[in-house]
Amino acid sequence: MPKTEIRKSAVKTHRKSEEARVKNKAKRNSLATGEKKVRAAAAGDDKTAAQELFRKQCSALDKAAKVGIIPKNRANRKKAQLARVVAPKAAAKAE
């Protein structure tokens, strides 16, 4: 007959995985918010703010990919998408 009580290690593993899930969800939400800020800045007139936010967002995406919150390819794809949004503003600034 199988044991009916839950092992202490299973309880701890469940608790730790729940803590990680909450932390990872918060980080993914902050990544989405950062992306929105970059896109909003790129749509506006402030080119330097868009570039600065883009740099910070790239760093945040790289860190999230390094720890495993998002896949590395997704981070690279998001950076490329944001670079295409910010690039016309940077080109206009150089002229």
Please give the average pLDDT of every successive group of 10 residues along the chain, which has 95 residues.
Answer: 77 95 97 96 91 97 96 97 85 58
Per-residue confidence (pLDDT) for residue 60, from 0 to 100: 97
If one looks up domain 9-94 in CATH, what number appears? Answer: 1.20.58.110
As a whole number of angstroms, the distance between CA 34 and CA 29 comes to: 9
Tell me which residue of 50, 64, 58 sits closest to 78, measured CA to CA: 58
Per-residue confidence (pLDDT) for residue 1, from 0 to 100: 52
Per-residue confidence (pLDDT) for residue 6, from 0 to 100: 79
Per-residue confidence (pLDDT) for residue 58, from 0 to 100: 97
Contact predicate 55/16, CB 8 Å = no
Q: Where are the domains of the chain?
A: 9-94
Q: Rounded to two decimals, what is the model's pTM?
A: 0.81
